[in-house]
Structure 1
Amino acid sequence: MKIRRLANEERPSTSWRLQEYAFERSPMPPEQAAKLREYLPYHEGNVTLVVQDGAETLAAVSMIPMRQNVRGTVHTMAGVSGVVSHPLARRQGHIRTLLTQLLGELRDEGYAVSALYPFRPSFYGRFGYAALPHPRTVSFSPADLGGWLRADLPGELRWQRIRDGYDTHRGFTERLLASRHGFSLLPDYRDVQRREDDKRWIVSARHDGEVVGAVTYTIDGHGGTLHADDLLTVSPLGRALLLQFFARHVDQVARISTVVAPDETPELWSTDLATHTESRLSFPSSVAPMARLLSLDALHGLSTAPGRVRVDIVDDPFVAGSYLLDGADGRLEVTRGSGSGSAATSASPPTATLTAAGISALAYGVLDPDELPLRGFGTVPREAAAELRALFPRAVPYLFSDF
C-alpha cells in the first residue's frame, strides 16, 4: 500500500469513484458518470491524498484551499472534504492515516486553520476539531411581511440571474470575509461553478451605490416555496430591503425559506411575523461544522483585552507544546516554550492544560473556559479561566461556505 497525492485528471477514476458511492445515488447512472470530467476545472487547486493497494484506491481525503476570518484576521483555511473509503476497506485506519498526513503537510505549507462538515463529530473531535454553531433555516409566509410593502425605504434593489450578478455576490462575500468572525470563502475556481451552472436568481440591496445585502434563491413553482440561500446583510436597511422584496411574492408563493446566521433573530424582523426557525442536525446527512487551529500563529496579533496565561497543549501532533499567551498591549502575543512575553513579571502566570479541541473552541469563541473540563478538553484552574476568558470572550462564528 502507498499514499500519494493525486493529479487533477486522476480524480474521476480514483477518489470520485469512492465519493460517488458514499455521497450520491449509487450506482450512478452511466450518462451522469460520463460527465464527471466536466467538473475537473472546479477542483484544479484541491489537494487529494489517497491510499492505494496496487491499482485499487482504498481511501481518499481532499482539501479545498479557502480563507476564513478568525476574530478579525483572515487566515488560509484548509476545507477538508471528500473523506471516503472503499466499502471493503473501512475501519482499518486509512482515514486516520490520510487525515494526519494531510493536516501535517498543510500546516507545514502555512495553513493556519481548518474546517469541515463531519460525518460523525466525535471522530473529528479526536483530531482536535471543535464544533461550531449551525446556521438556521427560517420560513414564513410572505403575507406576514405586508408592513414592509408600505415602508418607504431608502435604497434600491437589483434582480438578476446569477450569471449576471455573480460578481456582485462574490464581491459582497469578500467584504463579509473581512468583517465577520468565522466567515469563510471558497477559492475563485470553485465558487465560479455557481455562475457557470446559472441555477439561481440573485437580488442585491443597495444604498448610496453600495451593496448592503444580497441573497440567491430559487422558486419551486407557483404556490410553492421561495428557497433562499444565506441572507447576507451588513445593516438593518439591507435586511429590510430584502424582506420587502420577499413581500412582493405574496401572490406567487406560499412560503419563504432562507438560511440565517446562528446569531440572527428572525422573530424580531417584523410585527405579526409568524416564523418557523430551526437548526436540525442528523448524522451523517445534516451536520454542524467543526474547525480547529493548525498553528497557534493564527492567534498572534489578535485584538484582545489584557490577560496573561500559559497553556500546555497536549495529545496533538500539530500544536502540542507550551505557550505563553499575553494580551497586555491589546494585541495577543504568542510565545512558544519558556519565553516570558512582552509583559514579563516576576510572577508566573496561571497555567491551563488543553487539548487541541479545547484551544480551538476558545479561539472560535464557542465555549467558556469553565466548560472545557466538563467536556474533557483540559484542566483549567480558576485563575487561568479568568485570564482565558479575557483573552477569548465568547463569540458566534458564522461559517458561510458549504463545501
Structure 2
Amino acid sequence: MLIRRLAAEERLTTSFPLQAYAFEASPLSGERVEAFHRYLPYNRGNRTLVVEEDGETQAAASAIPMRQNLRGRVLPMAGVAGVATHPLARRRGHVRALLHQLLDEMRDEGHQLTALHPFRAGFYERFGYVGLPRTRTVRFSPADLDPLLRAELPGEVTWERIGAGYAGYRAFTECCVRERHGFAIFPEFRAVGLRDRDDRWLVTARIDGTTMGALTYRIDDDGELLGDDLLTTDPYARALLLQFLARHVDQVDRISLQVPADELPELWLTDLAVHVEARVSRSGSLAPMARLLALDTLAGLPAGPGRVRVELVGDRWLAGNHLLDGTTGQLELAAGGPAPSATLTAAGLSALAYGVLDPVEVDVRGLGSIGPDAAAELRRLFPRALPYLFADF
C-alpha cells in the first residue's frame, strides 16, 4: 500500500471519480465527467492524498485549508472532504491510514482545528471528532411577512447577481468569521466558485453604510424561494432582509432559509406560521463534526475562573497530563499545583472547547471520566456556546 499526494491534474482520473461514486448518482454521465474539468481550479490549493495498490487508486481524502473562529480567535482549520474508497477496497483500513497522514501533514503546517461532514458520526468520533449543531431549515409563506411591508426600518437593501456582488459578500463573511464562534470560511481559491457559477441572487442589508446582513438565494420552478444561510449581525438587518422577501408574495408560495441553531424564527413576527427543522439521520443529513488538532490551540482562549488537571488519552495528536488554568480570564497551560483531575478523550476535550457539551454529558457519553469537582471547574473554564459552522464543504 502506497500513500501519496496528488498533483492537481491527477484528480480528474483518481479522486474525483471515487468521490462521485461515493456521493452522487452513478454511473456518471459524460456531461458530469466534463464538469470535473470546470471544478478542478477550485481544488488547486487542497491537499489530496490517495492510497494506491498496484498503481490503482483505492481510497482518497482531501483537506481544504480554511479558517475558523474558536471562542473569538480565528485559527487555521483543515476542512476534510472527499473521503471515499473503491467499492472493492472497503473495510481494509485505507481511510484510517489516509486520515492519519492527512491530519499529520495539516497539523505540521499549523492547522490547529479540523472539521468535516461525516458519512458516519461514530466512525469519526473514534478520530476525536465531536458533533456541532446542524443549521436549521426554516419554511414559511411570504404572506406571513406582510406586517414588515409597513415597517419603517433604518438602512437599505441592494439586490444583484452573486457574480456582481461577490466581493462585498466575501468581505461580509470575513467580518463574520472574526465575530462568530464556530464560523468558518473557505480560502479564496475555493470561495470564488460561488462568483464564477453566478447561479444565485444576492440581497444585502446595509445600515449607516455598513453591511450587516446578506442572503444568497434562487427561485425554483415550483414556486419556492430557496435561500442559503441567512447571515445577519443585527436585528434590523434581519428585518430588512425579511422585508425584501415579503415583496415576493405574488411570485412564490414558499420561502426556505438556513439559520443557525440559536436563531428563533418563531419569534420573528406575531402570527408567523413557520416550520423549523434540523433533520439528522444515520443514512444522511448528518450534523458537522470538529476537533482540536493541537493542545496549544487552547492557550489564550477566553476562559472562566476554573482550574483543572486533565489527562488526555487514546489520541494520536492530543496526549499527556496538563493543567488548564483560566483564573486570569484567558486559558493557560499551567506548570503545576493542586487542582481537581479528569480524564478526557480528544472528542471530550473538543466538545468542551467548542462549547457543545456539558462536562457531565461528556462523562455520560463515554468521552471522558469526570468527577463532580472537575466538572464544576471545566464548566467554569468552558462555558456552553453554540458554534455556527457556516461553511458547507
Shorter-chain TM-score tier:
over 0.9
Structure 1 segment 271-286 matched on structure 2, within 5 A: 271-286=270-285
Q: Which residue of 1 aligns with 2:254?
A: 255
Structure 1 segment 30-41 matched on structure 2, within 5 A: 30-41=30-41
**SS of structure 1 residue aligned to 2:77:** strand
Structure-2 separation of matches of 1:224 and 1:182: 33
Does residue 203 (structure 1) correspond to residue 203 (structure 2)? The answer is yes
Structure-2 separation of matches of 1:399 and 1:378: 24
Structure-2 separation of matches of 1:58 and 1:307: 47
* AA matched with 2:281: S
Structure-2 separation of matches of 1:12 and 1:354: 41
* AA matched with 1:260: V
* AA matched with 2:188: D
* AA matched with 2:197: D
**SS of structure 1 residue aligned to 2:194:** helix
**How high is the TM-score relative to the length of structure 2?**
0.98
For the aligned residues, what is the CA RMSD? 1.0
Alpha-carbon deviations, 1:230-259, whole Å to 9, x = none?
000001001000010010000000011000
* 1:32 CA displacement: 2.4
**SS of structure 1 residue aligned to 2:250:** coil
Structure 1 segment 285-304 matched on structure 2, within 5 A: 285-304=284-303
* 1:279 CA displacement: 0.3
Q: Which residue of 2 aligns with 1:400?
A: 390
* 1:87 CA displacement: 0.3
Does residue 311 (structure 1) correspond to residue 301 (structure 2)? The answer is no
Structure-2 separation of matches of 1:364 and 1:6: 32
Q: Which residue of 2 aligns with 1:385?
A: 375
**How high is the TM-score relative to the length of structure 1?**
0.96
Q: Does structure 2 conserve the Cα–Cα contact (< 8 Å) formed by 1:118 and 1:284?
A: no
Q: How many residues align?
A: 393
* AA matched with 1:183: F
Alpha-carbon deviations, 1:148-172, whole Å to 9, x = none?
0000111101000000111111111
Q: Which residue of 2 aligns with 1:146?
A: 146
**SS of structure 2 residue aligned to 1:370:** helix
Q: Which residue of 1 aligns with 2:102?
A: 102
Structure-2 separation of matches of 1:229 and 1:32: 24
Alpha-carbon deviations, 1:329-369, whole Å to 9, x = none?
1111124xxx22xxxx5xx1111100000000000000001
Q: Does structure 2 conserve the Cα–Cα contact (< 8 Å) formed by 1:156 and 1:206?
A: yes
Structure-1 separation of matches of 2:255 and 2:20: 32
Runs of 4+ in 1 over 6 A off after TM superposition: none
* AA matched with 2:362: L
Structure-2 separation of matches of 1:334 and 1:9: 44
Alpha-carbon deviations, 1:165-189, whole Å to 9, x = none?
1111111111010010000001110
* 1:306 CA displacement: 1.0
Does residue 54 (structure 1) correspond to residue 68 (structure 2)? The answer is no
Structure-1 separation of matches of 2:284 and 2:28: 19
Q: Which residue of 2 aligns with 1:86?
A: 86
Alpha-carbon deviations, 1:260-283, whole Å to 9, x = none?
001100000011100000001123
**SS of structure 2 residue aligned to 1:158:** strand
**SS of structure 2 residue aligned to 1:192:** helix
* 1:34 CA displacement: 2.8
* 1:321 CA displacement: 1.1
* 1:10 CA displacement: 0.6
Structure-2 separation of matches of 1:265 and 1:32: 39
* AA matched with 1:18: L
Alpha-carbon deviations, 1:273-321, whole Å to 9, x = none?
0000000112343110000000111111011121111110000010111
Q: Which runs of 5+ in 2 are unaligned?
A: none
Q: Which residue of 1 aligns with 2:233?
A: 234
**SS of structure 2 residue aligned to 1:373:** helix
Structure-2 separation of matches of 1:32 and 1:299: 43
Q: Which residue of 1 aligns with 2:216?
A: 216
Identity, % of aligned positions: 61
**SS of structure 1 residue aligned to 2:359:** coil
**SS of structure 2 residue aligned to 1:63:** strand
Does residue 264 (structure 1) correspond to residue 263 (structure 2)? The answer is yes
Q: Which residue of 1 aligns with 2:16?
A: 16
Alpha-carbon deviations, 1:16-64, whole Å to 9, x = none?
1101111122111123213312221100010011110122100011101
Structure-1 separation of matches of 2:31 and 2:256: 33
* 1:198 CA displacement: 0.4
Structure-1 separation of matches of 2:295 and 2:315: 12
Structure 1 segment 332-371 matched on structure 2, within 5 A: 332-335=331-334, 339-340=335-336, 348-371=338-361
Q: Does structure 2 conserve the Cα–Cα contact (< 8 Å) formed by 1:2 and 1:53?
A: yes
* 1:212 CA displacement: 1.0
Q: Does structure 2 conserve the Cα–Cα contact (< 8 Å) formed by 1:308 and 1:324?
A: yes
**SS of structure 2 residue aligned to 1:57:** strand
Q: Which residue of 2 aligns with 1:173?
A: 173
Q: Does structure 2 conserve the Cα–Cα contact (< 8 Å) formed by 1:218 and 1:227?
A: yes
* AA matched with 1:361: A
Q: Which residue of 2 aligns with 1:373?
A: 363
* AA matched with 2:2: K
